């Protein structure tokens, strides 16, 4: 079965984009990875309306990407902080890959606005595709796609 003979109905890329493919959702995840926890901080930093942010946070919580943790400041009502789950943190390489691509193709002439570095040695991080057998980094021409266990043929 070739790629064009394979049904896209259960494509995991499509399913992932259904969860996080909207721009604002990825920016909320990016901010959560950088320590933003509270609704007002997300709203101010990402620049969303309250309604859009509330919708994105609700969807990310429902998808298991964020968890809510109640907090209460003295004299105020109880509110929720938003924290990444393990599933949410598993998006870290995706966010870094988008950043790496953007740093190369869309950064200002002076360079990227932020750097992500290794805490131990201080060197910049890079995303690379490697083989499960430790061959890598690889180029697209060193890989191929084949139908997996849940592939279905087009009708």
pLDDT tens digits for 121-136? 999 999 999 999 988 7
Show the domain range for 84: 3-142
Nearest CA-CA partner of 37 in 75, 95, 78, 80: 80
Quote the pTM value: 0.87
- Answer yes or no: is 95 within a domain: yes
- Sequence-separated (6 or more) residues with CB below 8 Å from residue 103: 111, 112
Nearest CA-CA partner of 129 in 141, 121, 138, 120: 138
What does the alpha-carbon distance between residue 119 and residue 114 come to, in Å, rounded to a whole number?
Answer: 15
Percent of the chain, pLDDT > 70? 100
Beta bridge partners of 71: 79
- Number of structural domains the chain divides into: 1
| CATH number, position 122 | 1.10.10.10
């Amino acid at each position: 079965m070739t790629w064009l003979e394979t049904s896209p109905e259960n494509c995991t890329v499509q399913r992932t984009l259904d969860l996080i493919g909207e721009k604002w959702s990825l920016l909320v995840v990016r901010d959560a990875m950088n320590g933003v926890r509270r609704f007002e901080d997300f709203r101010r930093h990402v620049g969303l309306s309250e309604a859009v942010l509330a919708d994105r946070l609700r969807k990310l919580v429902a998808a298991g990407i964020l968890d809510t943790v109640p907090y209460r400041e003295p004299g105020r009502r109880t509110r929720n902080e938003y924290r990444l789950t393990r599933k949410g943190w598993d998006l870290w390489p995706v966010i870094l890959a988008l950043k790496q691509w953007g740093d190369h193709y869309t950064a200002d002439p002076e360079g990227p606005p932020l750097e992500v570095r290794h805490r131990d040695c201080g060197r910049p991080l890079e995303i690379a595709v490697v083989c499960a057998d430790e061959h890598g980094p690889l180029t697209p021409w060193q890989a191929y796609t084949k139908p997996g266990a849940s592939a279905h043929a087009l009708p």
